[in-house]
Structure 1
Amino acid sequence: MRLSRQTSQGFTLLELMVVIAIISILASLSAPTFTRQIAKAKLIEAQNLITQHQSLVEEFILLEGTFPTDAEFTQIKQPLLSDSIAKSITIESSDATTGSIVIKLNNSTGITENQYLKYSRDENRQWSCTSDLEAKLLPLQCNSTAGDEE
Structure 2
Amino acid sequence: MRHLRGNLAAIGVTVLVLAVLGVVAGYVWSALAPATRYVLIDGAPHVADPETQSLIEADGWFAVVTGAFGLVCGIAGYVLSRGRPVEVLLGLAAGGLLAGYVAMLVGGTAKGAVQAAGPGGYTTTTSLDLTAHGVLFAWPLVATAVFWVIEFAVTYNERSR
Length-normalised TM-score, structure 2:
0.32
- Which is helix-richer, 1 or 2? 2
Q: Larger relative contact order (C-alpha < 8 A, sep ≥ 6)?
A: 2
Bigger Rg over Cα: 1
- Which is strand-richer, 1 or 2? 1
Length-normalised TM-score, structure 1:
0.34
